[in-house]
Amino acid sequence: MNNKQHKIVISGGGTGGHLFPALAIADALKRIEPTIDILFVGALGKIEMDRVPAAGYKIIGLDIRGLQRKLTIDNLMFPVRLIKSLAKSFSIVNEFKPDVAVGVGGYASGPLLYAASRKDVPTVLQEQNSYPGITNKLLAKRASKICVAYQGMEQFFPADKLMLTGNPVRQDILEIEGKKEEAADFFGLSAQKKTIFLTGGSLGARTLNESILNHLESFRNEEIQLIWQCGKFYYNTLKQQFKEAEFPNVKLMEFVSRVDLAYALADVIVARAGASTISELCLVKKPAVLVPSPNVAEDHQTKNAMALVSKQAAILVKDDVAKTELVDVAIRLINNEEKKQKLAANIATLGLKNSADVIAKEILKLVK
C-alpha cells in the first residue's frame, strides 16, 4: 500500500450484536493503520447513532427500517425509505470515495453496500450468525470477501469468498483473569459467593426479566448472587417492583458498563443467543444457559444456540418455558461442579481469537 490516506466505510447496526463487531473492526483497522479514515453509516434512531460518536468515529444515518412481520405503516413506507436510502448511499460513496466498504448486517448495510458495489468499490461482509440474514444473502454475490463465524456456511454463500474468522468482540472482555476481587468491589458483591450474570443485551429481554422476578426468593434462599442486566426498556418498571434492600445479593442494573468484570465474577452466565454474545461466551470460557429469542428473523438465535448445545458446550432453555424453568436450571448448574467444568471445557474449544485483527487485515488487502 502507498502513503495515501485510506478510507473505509463500515455500515450496519440496529442492535449491539451488529454494532460491537463493527466497532471492534474499526479499532483493529486503527491499530494497524493509525491514519486510516473510517466513516460509519447506520440507521437513524438506532443504537449506533449514539455509540459510534462516543467511540470517536463519524457516522451518517439513513432513514431505513426493517420489515415487520405484520402489516404496519412502517411496512407501507418501506419502499419510499429504501429509495431514499439508496440515493443517499450513492451520494455518500461518491463524496467519501471509500477504498473498501464493510457490511456487518442490519438495515443500513443493504443500501450502502449495494451502492458501493455498483460503484466498483470492493465490499466485505461480516456475517455473525450460523444462519445468515437476508441482507447479507442478497449482497453476497457482489462481495469480495465474506467473513463468517461458523463452519458450513458454503450452503449459503459462494465457497471461494468465505473466510472463517469468528466474530469480533470487544477487546476488554477478554481480559478477565485475576479480576474477581475488583469485580466484587465494583458490583458491591462477595468474591466468595457463587454468582450468576444474566443479560438480555443492551435493550433487555422481557422473558429473562420476568423469569427472575418470578423467582427472586430462590436467590435469597440459595445464597447465590445475581448480576441482573435488565436493559433500558425495563429498568424503571423493575426498579419499582424490586425491593433492593430485601435482596442485597441481587444487583439490578440497566446496563453493565464493565462487562469484563461481570464475566470475571460470574460462575454461570444466562443470556440470549445473539451471535456476539455467543462469541464472547466462547472466549471467556464460562458455562452458559442460553434462552434464544423467538422474535428474531429466521430464528437465528435458536440456530446459534444449537451450534453450542450440539457440542455439549451450553444448556438450552426455550423461551416459552423460561418463566417457570430458567432459574431452577441455572441454580442446578451453578451447584454442579462437574457439569460446569464440562461445559466450560467444551465452549473453550469453540472460541476464535483475534477475529477483528484478521478481518481488518483482509479489508486492507482489498485496498486498490
* Annotated binding residue 15: yes
Q: What is the DSSP string of 134-165?
A: HHHHHHGGG-SEEEESSTTGGGTS-GGGEEE-
| Average per-residue pLDDT for the chain | 92
Least-confidence region, from 70-74, 166-170, 218-222, 335-339: 70-74
Q: Is it the case that residue 16 has pLDDT exceeding 80?
A: no
Give pLDDT tens digits for 302-361. Answer: 999 999 999 999 999 999 999 999 999 999 999 999 999 999 999 999 988 899 999 999
pLDDT at residue number 74 = 66
Domains by residue range for the chain, with CATH: 7-167+354-365 (3.40.50.2000), 172-348 (3.40.50.2000)
* Annotated binding residue 199: no
pLDDT at residue number 2 = 55
Give pLDDT tens digits for 262-314. Answer: 999 999 999 999 888 999 999 999 999 999 999 876 788 999 999 999 999 99
Name the pLDDT band for 1 (thresholds 50, 70, 90): very low
**Pairwise CA distance, residues 286 & 299, whole Å:** 24
**Pairwise CA distance, residues 367 & 7, whole Å:** 9
**Pairwise CA distance, residues 259 & 255, whole Å:** 9
pLDDT at residue number 17 = 78
> pLDDT higher for 117 or 175?
117
> pLDDT higher for 244 or 322?
322
* Annotated binding residue 133: no
* Annotated binding residue 241: no
* Annotated binding residue 301: yes
pLDDT at residue number 200 = 87
